[in-house]
A and B are shown apart, each in its own frame.
Chain A
Amino acid sequence: MDMAKFKSMFLSEAGEHLKNMSAQLVTIEGASDDRDRINSLFRGAHSIKGMAASMGYEKMAELAHHLEDSLDHFRQGKPISPTDVDRLLDGVDLLEGLLEDISQDLPEREIADFTTRPVDQKQSVEDQPPAAAANPVTHYLQLILHDNVVSPAARLLLFSKSLERLGTIDRLVPSLEQIMNGQEHRSLQLSLQSDLTAAEIEQAFQDYPEISQLSISSEPPAEERRKDDRRSGDRRQGDRRAQSLTAGTVRVDTNLLDQFINLTGELVTNRHILQTALAEQRWNELNDGLGQLGKLVKNLHGQVVKVRMMPVSSITERLYRVVRDLSRKAGKEVALKVEGAEIELDRAILEEVADPLMHMVRNAVDHGIEQQGTVQVRIRRQRSHVHILIKDDGRGIDPRKLRERALEKGLISPKQAETMSDMNALQLICLPGFSTTTEVTETSGRGVGMDVVKAAVEKLDGILQIDSALGEGSRITMKLPLSVAIIRILLIRCNDRLMALPLSRIQQTHQIEREEIQSRGRQLLIQLKEEKIPLISLRKSLHMPVPPATNRVSLVVMELFGRKVGVVVDQIVGHQEVFVKKMPAPFDRLPGTNGGAVLGDGQVVFILDVQGFLGGRR
């Protein structure tokens, strides 16, 4: 019964080993005398072999053993060629594929193609066959139930359902309909196309005392190779993140657990203090107790956040491989440098930025670097934020071309194109629809454009900054909060309703006189220092009644769709920290809110996503 528990641990540990192996393999080229690295690779393969064997995953154990053998040769001093690295990487890929099968309760895929491939035979990234085209075998099964089995028809239906999970069922006698009609049958005959061996199928039904007889006979493998979309084709780096980041288990330092216990103890004491103080109506003590409670909760939050933290390396490790494959393919020489990968971020944030980060690195290799260069990913902690900088020393982005392009696509007007600063022109690449299939190369064309990158960063309450100079390369920075759950909000009132805006999105707040508002056509504007910024009314945007104008107007200046906008609200109430609660499905799909929060007095406020609810009408 505990296998499920071990399995998740197995998945997460094996996944970690594989990630390390893949990272080390990429950096081993040109350093083949690095004994430590080879030893560590060897240990990785060895550990996986041991774990897989004890869990009964035979193919995975066999493959790990195979890799361990090859690594042993290198340990003995055999030099490692780039072809060897390719082959080892393929092996690690295949192990990851097996791990995925296991995590999805699928039969392990075939590995014979790999293990029987001659070691010297070069198989490059491009023409690698589908990781494991399986060779299904047809088995003929007969299964007879014991006489005393209750509800035999339902039992047979369950069996045929389990068999369906092992392969494709054919020629079922009695037919599924006959079984479902509840006719009294106690035996089942069928042929099953499956990747499993007869012994493996038998194993699967070992624990069924309801079966009195099970016979499996097989014929020579069918000639036809099964085409299975899920297993063939391009499912390389892109899919891997999900496994490591969303794995349900987290390893927690036992020191942290001790601190949780200590904090819990203090909270219990605190509760007694408060109770006593209340019962005896000693207000000073009650007040002190509440102060202490505040501190404890803050401390607890800090500790919980720590548990959710993971090093950024969990999403940067795979970049080495991406850059290596990509530059080999494009015939470029690109080095990747990652700095500060040990800095930690909330796993939920890492999950969201993993794909955007990969996309930007791909872009840098693909479009930025010309022949030879360096892509840098630099991670820095800046107070409550983490900055992730993606920098290349390539050709840079030409703002003039961006303007022309946006004009061509009708994304901006000729006048806008003329007056737009270079800095603002760079932001154009984030407009939806800006990048098109014509410029998307095979490698970058994964359906993630810069608009998606920007949206992902902003959804996390972060900021995306783009900077580039022709001939000097580009710098793109993602400024991200450390954690998602607790944020600072600005409370505003509109139509007698309290609402919240995330403070990080707000640039300024202002009280202005009505006379200061100017109009240009239907657009209202306000002059703030040197800038004219457009105004929008929150009431109008939310389809609330608009009352007669007052003299003083409260204004919240935010960046929306890449430009400054003044949002007119009834009243600015103040700011505070809140714990953001995601809306339950299906409400989480409503555009316009990023969840809600409960205020100290029990009031519920929605956290507005102004860009979200304006988005549809733009």
Chain B
Amino acid sequence: MANRVLIADDAQFMRDLLRDIFEQAGWDVVGEAENGKQAVEQYKLLKPDLVTMDIVMPLRSGIEALSDIIAADPGARVVMCSALGQESMVMEAVKAGARDFIVKPFQQEQVERIVQRVMA
């Protein structure tokens, strides 16, 4: 069975990009969320092996969504997607239980490596 990932990002472009990377690596992209609220709902519903979570999203931010997910499932594997200049938010996310973070712009290799580490 392929590993299952949920992609949470408010930008369609980013979601498509990540979907491509994951699908090439043999993953099942089981869900896409456009905001933090959806991310939490879909996580509970789909129980994916991994979530990629954009930090800045409408309704509930990535960090709020992360906290909700960790509260519901302390073993959840959530990897944050950050941009340059979000250091303090990345730190918040790691404190809140994010397993790792990927810095935009994404490079396939970087994503694959981090995912591999998180899943190990």
Contact = CB atoms under 8 A, between A and B. Distances in A.
A173 interface: no
A2 B103 CA distance: 24
B6 interface: no
B26 A154 contact: no
B72 to A, nearest CB: 11
Q: Output the residue of B26, B87, B91, B112 with the most chain A CB within 10 A.
A: B91
A182 B112 CA distance: 26
Contact of A1 (B26, B82, B84, B86): B26
Contacts of B115: 1
A209 B113 contact: yes
A213 interface: no
B88 to A, nearest CB: 5
Contacts of A209: 113
Contacts of B26: 1-2
B22 to A, nearest CB: 10
Contacts of B112: 1
A207 interface: yes
Given A1-B116, A4-B119, A154-B90, A180 B101 contact: no
B85 to A, nearest CB: 9
A150 interface: yes
Given A154-B101, A157-B94, A158-B94, A1 B119 contact: yes
B14 to A, nearest CB: 17
B117 A207 contact: yes
A207 B101 CA distance: 15
Contacts of A4: 3, 119-120
Contacts of B3: 1, 4-5
A4 B115 CA distance: 12
Nearest to A248: B1
A153 B87 contact: yes
A151 B99 CA distance: 14
A150 B91 contact: no
B25 interface: yes
A84 to B, nearest CB: 39
Q: Output the residue of A2, A151, A157, A208 with the most chain B CB within 10 A.
A: A151
A163 B111 CA distance: 22
Interface in A121-161: 150-151, 153-154, 157-158, 161
A273 B25 CA distance: 40
Interface string A216-233: 000000000000000000
Nearest to A152: B87
A182 B93 CA distance: 12
Contacts of B64: none
B100 interface: yes
Given A1-B116, A4-B3, A154 B94 contact: yes
Interface in A54-83: none
B16 to A, nearest CB: 21
A139 B120 CA distance: 23
A3 B115 CA distance: 12
A91 B91 CA distance: 45
A151 B116 contact: no
A116 B26 CA distance: 45
Interface in B58-99: 82, 84, 86-88, 90-91, 93-95, 99
A157 B91 contact: yes
A1 B115 CA distance: 8
Contact of B95 (A1, A150, A180, A208): A180
A182 B87 contact: yes
A154 B82 CA distance: 12
Contacts of A157: 91, 94-95
Contacts, number: 51
Contacts of B93: 154
Contacts of A208: 117
Contacts of B25: 1
Interface in A349-401: none
Given A1-B3, A4-B3, A154-B94, A182 B120 contact: no
Contacts of B113: 207, 209
Contacts of A5: 1, 3
Contacts of A158: 94, 99-100
Contacts of A1: 3, 25-26, 112, 115-116, 119
Nearest to B112: A1
A208 B116 CA distance: 11
A151 B89 CA distance: 9
Nearest to A179: B91
Nearest to A157: B94
A586 to B, nearest CB: 12
A315 B93 CA distance: 44
Nearest to A161: B94
Given A1-B3, A182-B88, A182-B91, A151 B82 contact: yes
Nearest to B99: A158
A444 to B, nearest CB: 35
Nearest to A1: B116
Given A1-B26, A157-B94, A158-B94, A151 B87 contact: yes
Nearest to A2: B26
Contact of A151 (B1, B101, B117, B120): B101
Interface string A228-242: 000000000000000
A154 B120 contact: no
Q: Output the residue of A1, A3, A153, A208 with the most chain B CB within 10 A.
A: A1
A151 B86 contact: yes
Contact of B91 (A2, A161, A180, A207): A180
B107 to A, nearest CB: 11
Interface of A: 1-5, 150-151, 153-154, 157-158, 161, 180, 182, 207-209
Given A154-B90, A180-B95, 6 more contacts: A4-B119, A5-B1, A153-B87, A154-B94, A157-B91, A158-B100
User: Would you list the 6 A-B pairs with minimal beta carbon distance, nearest first?
Assistant: A151-B90, A154-B90, A150-B103, A154-B94, A154-B91, A151-B87
12 contacts: A1-B112, A3-B120, A4-B3, A4-B120, A5-B3, A151-B82, A154-B93, A158-B94, A182-B87, A207-B113, A207-B117, A209-B113
